[in-house]
Amino acid sequence: MKVKINENAVSEELNRANSIEGFYANTGILVTGATGFLGKGILEKLMRVCPSIASIFILIRPKKNQTIEQRFKKLIDDPIYESIKAIHPSVVNKVHPVEGDVSLSDLGLSVADRNILIENVNIVFHVAATVRFNEPLNVAVNVNTKSTARIMELCKELKHVISIVYVSTAYSNANIFEIEEKIYTTSFKPSTVINICESGDQQSIDLLEDEILKIYPNTYTFSKNLAEQIMSNNSDSLPVAIVRPSVIGASLKEPCPGWVDNIYGLTGIFMLIGKGTTRTMLVKKSKRLDLVPVDYVVNIIICAAWHVTLHRNNEVKVYNSTSNAHPIKWNQIRDIVVQCSRETPMNNVIWFPFCILVPNQCSYNVLDIFLHILPAFFMDIFLKLSGRKPMIMKTSKLFNQMVRAVKFFGQHEWTFHQDNVTDMIKRVNLLKDRDIVKLDLWDMDWKKYMITYMAGIEKFILREDSKSIDAAQKRLLFLYRIHQIVLMFSLFILLATIYIIYSTLTVRLFFP
Ligand SMILES: NC(=O)c1ccc[n+]([C@@H]2O[C@H](COP(=O)([O-])OP(=O)(O)OC[C@H]3O[C@@H](n4cnc5c(N)ncnc54)[C@H](OP(=O)(O)O)[C@@H]3O)[C@@H](O)[C@H]2O)c1
């Protein structure tokens, strides 16, 4: 990696105050998690609106059969970077992959690379994490919690550090339902948990995990909570921002409307509803779903680095990046998703899309049998008989795992305070380039957004082209008719069963 040594000093800070672009000009940036959904968004936005950045170092781990150079090429060849390459071709040369792994000691960096970062990095975005909700405790703690300690060690060595942004989650305190922009401590001390997880004593780890899961919905949110505490305890006088997004969804506008990069969480659920695979969900329909477009989160993160540096009070600043001030409920989202799925059907839909929301596990289990397991069983038999690979049962099982993972979040709702975000918006509005970032959701048109989201799933995840729309609509019409026939048949069976039970009881009552 050949990089020109960047001699920016923090004393230049005041010159950076008037614009976001000015703040980032000539700085060296380190991003972890740049190959993930949010990280890609951050990288894209920085490259697009701050082309005068000195360098962006992205920490990438090698993967099976893929070197970091190959992974970097794949990343930068993503179509979302095409317009940047056209407008600012030189900015791509400022992005440098650095081999590392946040789960390893010293972040898995070579001494040479670490020295380059120490000399050149001014602003750090720590985004990398395992986002699997039910990761074993020791894995979640190592990747999500211990990594923040490793990042803070590096930050303290940086010669000219300006700001550090850690991306947490709005649900890092999921056991509390009104969340302020402050660090909450837990009855489990971070150092104790880390020590137990590092001891290798599986029995103690399992016991601890059981205790934790009595309070927290999963190991993921708990590990993020500990990570926040570590950032706070180790911040000393460094300007540290913690951004807490709620559920991140497709983009509203940037890099293009509906951009989405993976099928985790809600995106996967919306896709399966659209495909007609998912017909019931375990959520309380009147609860709020706190969904935020990825570009909104990216903007908050980029501005938080600026805000925490220039308006600091020697404390870690927390930014709740949520939508509860402009809420939408689960049933409203469901209605829009189903409507979109019917109006612009996806290719190869397997059933006429609908989705019944049920509030408790018992009703869900019953509906699951009739709406998922039995149909999947018969459809797989049909696929097998017609010489195709049975796969519906497998999808159904995967969905059930997802349902279990998100159950807690569909049963509760949270109120997030946003004082720091509001203060940041007020101050950004005074900047000359305030229009490059949209930081509030007050004019959010959820219906329009969800239509864009569903179109994004088709375009970026399923990669379906518009040529197949006619065929998809014909198929949907056919499935609609089958759906109606099955509904009538089910109604008939239900009425017949009621009639048989009723007549049996009546006969027994009057002629015992
Ligand atoms: N998505 C959401 O709804 C949501 C909501 C709230 C908060 N967040 C937070 O936002 C951040 C990004 O989430 P995301 O949705 O973008 O997740 P994602 O798509 O799964 O990306 C995770 C990123 O972390 C990297 N990573 C994981 N383990 C690593 C390791 N050991 N060393 C180096 N890099 C590692 C991954 O690299 P590889 O490509 O090598 O796997 C990937 O780049 C996370 O901190 C998450 O907690 C996400």
Domains of the chain are 10-185+218-261+290-326+414-446 (3.40.50.720), 330-411+461-510 (no CATH)
CB atoms within 10 A of CB 450: 23
Query: From the CB of 243, is ligand 1 less than 6 Å away?
Result: no
Per-residue pLDDT reduced to its tens digit, 377-423: 988 998 899 888 888 888 888 888 888 888 999 999 999 999 999 99
Instruction: Write the secondary structure of 69-124 as one string of H (helix), E (strand) and C (coil).
Output: HHHHHHHHCCHHHHHHHHHCHHHHHHEEEEECCCCCHHHHCCHHHHHHHHHHCCEE
Q: What pTM was estimated for this model as a whole?
A: 0.93
Query: Which residue's alpha carbon is nearest to atom 36 within ligand 1?
Result: 33
Query: Which residue's alpha carbon is nearest to atom 1 within ligand 1?
Result: 248
Residue 377: CA count within 13 A, CB half-sphere: 6
Query: From the CB of 450, is ligand 1 less than 6 Å away?
Result: no
Give the pLDDT band (50/70/90) at residue 181.
Answer: very high
Q: What is the pLDDT of residue 282?
A: 94
Q: Which helix H or strand E contains 56, and what residues bound it?
A: strand 55-60
Per-residue pLDDT reduced to its tens digit, 186-238: 999 999 999 999 999 999 999 999 999 999 999 999 999 999 999 999 998 89
Residue 253 main-chain phi, psi, to 5 deg: -135, -35
Query: From the CB of 131, is ligand 1 less than 6 Å away?
Result: yes
Helix (H, G, I), strand (E, B) or coil at 44: helix
Give the pLDDT band (50/70/90) at residue 14.
Answer: very low
Taking the CA of residue 245 as reference, the ligand 1 atom at the shortest distance is 6
Neighbouring-strand partners of residue 29: 56, 123
Query: From the CB of 292, is ligand 1 less than 6 Å away?
Result: no
Residue 77 main-chain phi, psi, to 5 deg: -85, -5
Q: What is the dihedral of CA 191, 197, 201, 203, to 10 degrees?
A: 100
Give the pLDDT band (50/70/90) at residue 317.
Answer: very high
Query: From the CB of 43, is ligand 1 less than 6 Å away?
Result: no
Query: Which residue's alpha carbon is nearest to atom 20 within ligand 1?
Result: 36
Q: Give the mutation target among 30, 31, 32, 35 for probing the ligand 1 site: most ligand atoms within 8 A of CB.
A: 35
Query: From the CB of 225, is ligand 1 less than 6 Å away?
Result: no
Taking the CA of residue 264 as reference, the ligand 1 atom at the shortest distance is 1
Q: Give the mutation target among 30, 31, 37, 101 for probing the ligand 1 site: most ligand atoms within 8 A of CB.
A: 37
**Structure tokens given for 70:** 């190959």
Distance 36 CA to ligand 1 centre (A): 5
Per-residue pLDDT reduced to its tens digit, 421-464: 999 999 999 999 999 999 999 899 999 999 999 999 999 999 88
pLDDT at 12 over 70: no
212, 219 in Cβ contact below 8 A? yes
Q: Is the preceding omega at residue 257 within 30 degrees of 0, hence cis? A: no
Query: Which residue's alpha carbon is nearest to atom 11 within ligand 1?
Result: 127
Query: From the CB of 103, is ligand 1 less than 6 Å away?
Result: yes
Distance 79 CA to ligand 1 centre (A): 20
Helix (H, G, I), strand (E, B) or coil at 198: helix
Query: From the CB of 127, is ligand 1 less than 6 Å away?
Result: yes
What crossing angle do the helices spanning 392-411 and 266-275 adopt, rounded to 10°?
130
Query: From the CB of 36, is ligand 1 less than 6 Å away?
Result: yes
Distance 126 CA to ligand 1 centre (A): 10
The residue among 334, 329, 328 whose CA lies nearest residue 357 is: 334
